[in-house]
Structure 1
Amino acid sequence: MTTLRTPGPTIGVVGGGQLGRMLAEAAAPLGVEVIVLDPTPDCPAALVARDQIVADFDDEAGIRELAARSDVLTFEIELADQSVLERVSEKTGTPVHPKPSTLETIHDKLVQKRELEAAGVPVPPFRAVEDADDVRDAIDDYGAPVMLKARTGGYDGRGNVPVESKAEAEEALESVAGPAMVESFVDFEREVSVIAVKGENETAAFPIGENVHEDEILRETIVPARSSEAVEERAREVAEDVLEVMDGRGVYGIELFETTDGKVLLNEIAPRPHNSGHWTIEGAQSSQFEQHVRAVLGWPLAATDLRSPTVMTNLLADVDEEQEARLGDIDRILETPGANLHWYGKREARPLRKMGHVTVTARDDEGVAALRDRAVSIRESVTFE
């Protein structure tokens, strides 16, 4: 094995949002520097990264500059262009992790589901749809409701439309505005996720988290999930199968459904650190961001054991229209032992935009239900000014 030294290499990150910011925070103690590329000047990651290249996510000249200044490239946003990354990597010799081929698979949810199904990963019944008649046919076969999804570009619930009846098919398809697919509606007990890591010659996974969504936006992640040991074991097995399909090193956020009859079905995959893994910063022996840094560099992975039961709750902008981003009444967060504030440094607050998160770790023998109630109460004490 090659002897590792610090100060170490430089990672180039396509995207400079909150994930890039937290990647740079995790890289610094390891002696690893981060340069980000993002079209927004003074993006959230700019404050903590070594430098920012201001360029669009598909700007080949900008990504070539990023590659020239980096030892490895990665991305924190799926808007990165896989073909540009592949060309730049070939021309500069700078590797990209996860591989651009994985990003290509992830970009199209229909392609993603087909590849995973072919590999034996359990997924809900799905199909491509071209028009409203196809949606109505899916309702005949799957029953109502069905979930209509944009094949590309959707995130945080955007592009996901439940269709309750055949009469809604045309309007729902118009709202998606592009290539679409339909999935049968899953009768789930809870939504869970596994933050899994693919290293050079090893894999790892954090304990599974239970995710609470409202309007398709993640509100809280509860760890450990209130699932049976059998479900937890099955979720880890599915995560391992997913990693076999994915090409390239890094962290993968794997979202799953735990059905009412105890089965585990794949929902979606993010080939990067994921919102449902933010709890790991305080709640685990290592964070998902440190693991991503280690993985893309080919360094040994860290331990993923749980330190303490933890709840992560998102700070969503409670505003009616765009305004300057200012957070008030943070006293309770700062005064509460085990509560940790993470502010993302975004300049503008927009309705339901993720502005930060709070993690709360358990006191003594506090149960996860009580812990969640305490975390939500702390979150609700915060105001947007």
Structure 2
Amino acid sequence: MNPTCPGPTLGVVGGGQLGRMLAEAASPLGVDVVVLDPTPACPASRVAEQIEGPFDDPDAVRELAERADALTLEIELADPDVLEAIGGEYDVPVNPSPDALGTIQDKLVQTRTFANAGIPVPEFVAVADAGDLADAVERFDGCMLKARTGGYDGRGNVPVEPGDDYEAKLAEVGAGEGGAMAEELIDFERELSVVAVRGDGERRAFPVVENVHREEILRETVAPARCSEAVAERAREVALDTLETLDGRGVFAMELFEESDGTVSVNEVAPRPHNSGHWSIEGATTSQFEQHVRAALGWPLGTAEARAPTVMANVLGDVPEPRPASLSGVGDVLAAPNANLHWYGKHEARPLRKMGHLTIVDVDASTDDTAARDDLLARARDLRDGLTFE
């Protein structure tokens, strides 16, 4: 698709915060965005047009295709078969490919695909019932049980130890007729991720970043990661090898484990912009969102270099129960040097719900300055902890 200004219209399945930031990145390029989302006045609707409807509804997807020159997604709940059929019906390109989406939607299929391609992954087995789970626990001396479909933000993943109630654990992850997957528990040094992007005959990889989780939810991302150059290079190699197993243009985020001996393995992959790439809005030459827009349209990619050390901290719903969203302490973030706040526009705060994020950048430090990243992480946490929901 030849770049022009004004540009084409990009249709996005999903209108959450990722869709919102995609639309924000698309606007300076002259690209209009239409999103499909079932939530009335979804976050992206403030900056893009919204078609209100289920992600997998053929009529709603057909309306999206009628109004768009290209289709992409910001959530894995889209139906790959519907996207493939309607994309073909309207001769509208769909990226990443529906085939890649179908592979990633099922964690067992995803992991098998990577293993068969020689990509390093934790040991795993399919789990159909409590007996299979008992065997997996004995084999791995405890395991991480994962729902095959539908899990996100730690939901659908639960550790299992010998002697646990295996039926209850299967119910907890929502294992249905398709069963679940059990993985060995990795004693990792740190969690890493690489956001990689494939364009029309080109590819880029953002710097390797370090993710800090608590309660299975990402809290902070440190960019670049505080790991050795050898580990960073290996992580980049694994990420780009993984990218080759998936079809279509766009951003793919690879979540990785770094073990104490420097071994790197793939945890999971998302076929879209990712929370661990939010730092790139202020911290990289071209953000992950702009890269995804360019790639989905077949436009030339931007560079993916880091401008400076950057830390992203998620702003989660720190509330005991759902309530109208009202955040205080914003002025302190706005007053802090080189700090930026991103509010997602969600009407209701819920426990641990992602409501926004902040970034802080050290414009005077080099990207290999570990002390600068340590300091940034402490400052980001202080700023984030000063934000409260009234």
Alignment of 1:294-373 (within 5 A): 294-362=294-362, 364-365=364-365, 367-373=372-378
Q: Which residue of 2 aligns with 1:96?
A: 94
State the distance in 2 between where 1:44 and 1:281 align: 18
- Percent same amino acid among aligned pairs? 61
User: Which residues of structure 2 form unaligned runs of 5+?
Assistant: 366-370
> Aligned letter for 1:196?
A
> Aligned letter for 1:92?
Y
Q: Which residue of 2 aligns with 1:156?
A: 153
Deviation at 1:129, TM superposition (A): 0.7
Q: Which residue of 1 aligns with 2:56?
A: 58
- The residue matched to 1:167 in structure 2 has which SS? coil
Deviation at 1:288, TM superposition (A): 0.1
The yes-or-no answer on 1:87 pairing with 2:85 is yes
User: Which residues of structure 1 form unaligned runs of 5+?
Assistant: none
The yes-or-no answer on 1:175 pairing with 2:172 is yes
- The residue matched to 1:86 in structure 2 has which SS? helix
Q: Which residue of 1 aligns with 2:368?
A: none
- The residue matched to 1:359 in structure 2 has which SS? strand
State the distance in 2 between where 1:372 and 1:362 align: 11
Deviation at 1:86, TM superposition (A): 1.1
State the distance in 2 between where 1:330 and 1:300 align: 37
TM-score with structure 2 setting the length = 0.96
> Aligned letter for 1:143?
D
Q: Which residue of 2 aligns with 1:222?
A: 222
Matched residue pairs, number? 382
> Aligned letter for 1:19?
L
Whether the aligned pair in 2 keeps the contact of 1:139 and 1:166 (CA below 8 Å) is no
The yes-or-no answer on 1:202 pairing with 2:202 is yes
Q: Which residue of 2 aligns with 1:280?
A: 280
> Aligned letter for 2:262?
G
State the distance in 2 between where 1:167 and 1:28 align: 51
* 1:342-373 residue CA offsets vs partner (Å, 9 max, x unmatched): 00000111111000000011253462111100
- The residue matched to 2:44 in structure 1 has which SS? helix
* 1:233-275 residue CA offsets vs partner (Å, 9 max, x unmatched): 1111111111111110000111000011110000000000000
Q: Which residue of 2 aligns with 1:116?
A: 114
Alignment of 1:228-247 (within 5 A): 228-247=228-247
Q: Which residue of 2 aligns with 1:45?
A: 44
> Aligned letter for 1:380?
D
- The residue matched to 1:248 in structure 2 has which SS? coil
Deviation at 1:3, TM superposition (A): 5.2
Deviation at 1:33, TM superposition (A): 0.6
The yes-or-no answer on 1:252 pairing with 2:249 is no
TM-score with structure 1 setting the length = 0.97
State the distance in 2 between where 1:367 and 1:180 align: 42
Q: Aligned in 2, Cα 1:9/1:197: closer, same or farther, shift over 3 Å?
A: same
Alignment of 1:109-148 (within 5 A): 109-144=107-142, 146-148=143-145
* 1:43-76 residue CA offsets vs partner (Å, 9 max, x unmatched): 1001111x11111101111111110111100010
- The residue matched to 1:360 in structure 2 has which SS? strand
State the distance in 1 between where 2:193 and 2:211 align: 7
Whether the aligned pair in 1 keeps the contact of 2:34 and 2:50 (CA below 8 Å) is yes
State the distance in 2 between where 1:249 and 1:155 align: 23
State the distance in 1 between where 2:88 and 2:163 align: 48
